[in-house]
Structure 1
Amino acid sequence: MYLTPPMKKLNFLLIISLLLLSLRNQGYNIEAQNSDKVENLPEQPSSPKISHFSGYVNVNQENTRSLFFWLFESLSESPSTRPLVLWLNGGPGCSSIGYGAASELGPFHVAENGTSLSFNQYTWVQEANMLFLESPVGVGFSYTNSSSELDNLNDSFVAKDAYNFMVAWLARYPQYKSRDFFIAGESYAGHYAPQLAEVIYDRNKVKPKDSFINLKGFIVGNPLTDDEYDNKGILEYAWSHAVISDNLYNTAKRNCDFNSSNWSEPCNVAMTTVFQKYKEIDIYNIYAPKCNTNSSSSEGVSLLGTGDYKSPANKDWFKRVRWFEGYDPCYSNYAEKYFNRVDVRSSLHATARGVSRWLVCNNSILQTYEFTVSSMLPTYSKLIRGGLKIWVYSGDADGRVPVIGSRYCVEALGLSVNSEWRSWFHNHQVRVIF
């Protein structure tokens, strides 16, 4: 039978309608995903073609808290078979969009002065579907209608919000429900990642099938893990890398009981001096130059804090911005210029509601965050017994959560060794790896 042009058009529309109906029946939220799709991101490189989505997910019944996400589909040949990785930056108070997505392992890097983007050839998007979340509420574009909630943030609160986010997000993007799911992050995400993993692990046992999350494990880099071992590592790293004198090292070692959350006055004095010495360089990358341009609004922010949090002197140690190794030390300035552009925010569907200015790090969160958990090692042990995979990696340039402390933490787990330590080679050159 010959079809006239109008009939061909009707036939085509019928096929499209049936396809959309089929996808809806499979649970795909086409309208929501289309509204999240990022089109015409300013300065985005033309190659390679990257499909990405961003928007908000409400995380509580009262509709007071909404967390902002940015999803990048994998660039691999078969993205539908690649895992889903949730990336979290630390702080508490620093943005996974500003750091993880646009500085470290996302597909785009912001160039100088926030005027252009370049493709990151080392992006994790080459291998996985990457989901970057600005958490907790108050970080980046994530907002709350109740400002009092920002005064009650702690690890448990953050983990529950992140869990509610994932359940709601997977309902919106159900094509990822069957994928292997991993949580990844760095620094204070050494708390965020295992605690979210524990919530998912526990809820998977009791929640209905629709809320099941296919969690396989978590990955943490230079992670804050255990106060005693991390603080011991800070002191030993500073001495072993010639940041402090033998005399200061011996004084701190003699007076500090890092197993106690309430340090003695001599210990406080000694450790304050250690951190004062670090102000002369970059504690997060001791071999990198410092940024000498005008400071960004995020300067004075600390990513991490351990020890006696009730001590004003202790909190002062941590009020420094985080610069990542291998990147321009003034990167935060560029990121804030880019993500505060009106055209960028519009493309990313980022509201100005409750977020007059996007910050790489929100200093106020650090000031009010309740640090109630001193060690993640019991959580590690529980999840290892539960069969989850855990990967801890640590670079040797970070003095704030140094490799020495991470080694103490791993050794404290008392695990059997399946493969002895070995040198790691890349391009026929040895690299130090832990």
Structure 2
Amino acid sequence: MNIFLFLFIVKIQLSFSLDPYAQQQLDRVSKLPGQNFNVSFEHYAGYVTVNEESGRALFYWLLEADEDPSSKPLVLWLNGGQWIFILYFFSESLSANVLFLDSPVGVGFSYSNITNDQLNNGDKRTAADNLEFLLEWFKRFPQYKGRDFYITGESYAGHYVPQLSQAIVRHNHKNGEVIINLKGFMVGNALTDDFHDYLGLFQFMWSVGMISDETFKQLNVFCDSQSFIHTSGPCDKVLDIADEEIGDIDMYSIFTPPCTANFNRFSRLLKQKKKVGLIRRAYDPCTEQHSTVYFNLPEVQNVLHVHKKNSPSKWETCSEEVNENWKDTPMSVLDIYRELIPLGLRIWIFSGDTDAVIPVTSTRYSIDALNLPTTSPWRAWYDDGQVGGWTQEYNGLTFVTVRGAGHEVPLHKPKQALTLIKSYLSGNSMPKLEQVSDL
């Protein structure tokens, strides 16, 4: 090869490795397969290595706000396995720059170069990896450094979100400066405290008529002091009895029908580039199955810059392998709330009230355990003149329920979820009923 050509190629490669904006352009996402509409925002997807020794790399997807993204905060969205909420954000005007993260390694498209590294996940390593991800991600997107930053998530992210918030606060304190400008966090239907989560779960299932009186009593005897993740044999037996009594319903949304769709037809429509209703207003009980089909399409993974050689062989909404091999998991994160609330962070907890996995009763028990003074009493909040749910404000924490929503609130009630996130980001209370004059 001509020496001058060689030096030119090396120079180009070095410029890309040193210039974060060049890497941003490599991560830019073009039009998605099946997308029959134009969007007015930019989005990026790719990987950030969080551990050089093992080659652990976490997959991210950034959706910038559609209007003046430079003036909007950055919101990190974490989940306990599900990724289907991206569809919701495509269908609404983005009021923030939203950063989705596949975490921990082995979830979604995230991977490790070490075989079976996904079998060694736990809360501590996940928090450390997520912090490292953010520190490296801000180097790639320096325009976001110093921006108001919030963390949100649902389900097992009830652990991830406060743990990462704690890690950021401690990292900033250790360095004597604000490295990451964390302003607050919000979690929904969140695993928080095993004792209260179980107590509220059993009460919820019994109160809506899902289980018998006898099973309700046995659950409280054999499971009340159990880990929500690692249960004992006697507790498992009673849980199996409860499962039989409950029958074939969607525990994540107890009043909606389960999925019975034909996914071969869905896949064919995608390949024919026909409109298939990926983005919809009404709740689709088959969203999880649609997502599995969609994110396993080679053309989708190509557009999202997925490293097919390294990432899990099949994209799944939840990784049973990761779940079954989970290591450390504290029985409560209420101690983190007690540490962070005095710092003045904006902390909100929301709950869809038709979820029977981590129901509203569980969340209420956990909040009550904090013994926070009430600053604004229990009341209904409204969306377009209709009760959207209920809310109560405490000293340092706001609680919001979303009426008729299941475990994944943005999936079940996207309009109300948008009202929720806008209220949270603006720091305003949930809307009251507006009085309309007859004049």
TM-score by length of 2: 0.76
CA drift of 1:81 comes to 1.2
Letter in 2 for 1:82: K
Q: In structure 2, how many angstroms separate the alpha carbons of the residues matched to 1:51 and 1:410?
A: 38
Pick 1 or 2: higher relative contact order, CA cutoff 8 A, min separation 6. Answer: 1
Is residue 95–residue 135 contact of structure 1 (8 Å, CA) maintained in 2? no
Note the C-alpha offset of 1:295. Answer: 8.7
In 2, Cα distance between equivalents of 1:415 and 1:333 = 41
- What do residues 147-184 of structure 1 show as CA deviations (whole Å, max 9, x unaligned)? 23212110001010010000000011011112110110
Q: Could you say what secondary structure the match of 1:238 adopts?
A: helix
Secondary structure of the structure 1 residue equivalent to 2:379: coil
- Separation of aligned partners in 1, 2:30 and 2:236: 52
2:97 maps to 1:106: no
Residue number in structure 2 paired with 1:349 = 305
Instruction: Give the deviation of 1:230 after TM superposition.
Output: 0.3
* 1:34 lines up with 2:25 in the alignment: yes
Aligned-partner Cα distance in 1 for 2:34–2:21: 27
Q: CA contact under 8 A between 2:74 and 2:97: conserved in structure 1? A: yes
1:57 corresponds in structure 2 to 48
Secondary structure in 1 aligned to 2:139? helix
Once residues 241 and 131 of structure 1 are traced to their aligned partners in structure 2, the CA distance between those partners, rounded to angstroms, is 37
Matches within 5 A, 1:248-259: 248-253=215-220, 255-256=221-222, 258-259=224-225
Q: Choose the corresponding residue for 2:185, options 218, 221, 245.
A: 218
Amino acid at match of 1:345: Q
Q: Deviations over 1:366-415 (max 9, x none)?
A: 11112431001000110102221211000111001000010001111111
Contact 2:74 2:98 in 1 (8 A): yes
- Percent of aligned pairs with the same amino acid: 40
The 1:180–1:45 alpha-carbon spacing in structure 2 relative to 1, beyond 3 Å, is farther
* Partner residue of 2:65 out of 74, 88, 93: 74
Contact 2:47 2:57 in 1 (8 A): yes
Instruction: State how 1:391-410 maps to structure 2 within 5 Å.
Output: 391-410=348-367
Counterpart in the other structure of 1:202: 170
Partner residue in 1 for 2:429 = none
**Equivalent residue for 2:329, pick from 339, 348, 372:** 372
Which segment drifts farther, 325-334 or 156-165? 325-334
> Residue 143 of structure 1 contacts residue 353 of structure 1 at CA under 8 Å; is this kept in 2?
no
Deviates more, 1:278-287 or 1:27-36: 27-36
Alignment-derived partner of residue 167 in structure 1:
135
The answer on whether the counterparts of 1:89 and 1:100 sit within 8 Å (CA) in structure 2 is no
Cα 1:62–1:371 shift into 2, 3 Å = closer
Cα separation, partners in 2 of 1:346 and 1:213, compared to 1, 3 Å: same
Q: Deviations over 1:196-252 (max 9, x none)?
A: 11111100111375x800001111000000000000111000011111123322343
Matched, 1:337 2:305: no
Secondary structure at the aligned position of 1:144 is classed as: coil
CA contact (8 A) 1:252 1:267 kept: yes
Number of residue pairs aligned between Structure 1 and Structure 2 = 356
Of the three residues 242, 245, 253, the one matched with 2:209 is 242
Question: 1:57·1:165 contact (CA, 8 Å) conserved in 2?
Answer: yes
State the one-letter code of the partner of 2:86: A
List runs of 5+ in structure 1 lacking aligned partners. Answer: 1-23, 108-119, 297-324
1:424: Cα distance to partner?
Answer: 1.8
**1:350 partner amino acid:** V
**Are 2:50 and 1:83 aligned?**
no
**Contact 2:77–2:153 (CA<8 Å) still a contact in 1?**
yes
CA RMSD of aligned residues (A): 2.4
The alignment partner of 1:419 has SS state of strand
Supply the distance in 2 between the matched residues of 1:284 and 1:248 (Cα, whole angstroms): 20
Q: Quick check: 338-347 or 161-170, which moved more?
A: 338-347
**Inter-partner Cα distance in structure 2 for 1:57 and 1:166:** 9
- Work out whether residues 65 and 95 of structure 2, in 8 Å CA contact, stay in contact via their aligned partners in 1: yes
Distance 1:208 1:167, change over 3 A: farther
* Secondary structure at 1:276 match in 2: helix
Per-residue CA shift, 1:309-357, capped at 9, x if unaligned?
Answer: xxxxxxxxxxxxxxxx963222222212211222211111111123322
Give 1:199-348 correspondences, 5 Å limit.
199-207=167-175, 212-253=179-220, 255-256=221-222, 258-261=224-227, 267-293=235-261, 327-348=283-304
Contact 1:87 1:100 in 2 (8 A): no
The answer to whether the 8 Å contact 1:82/1:127 transfers is: yes
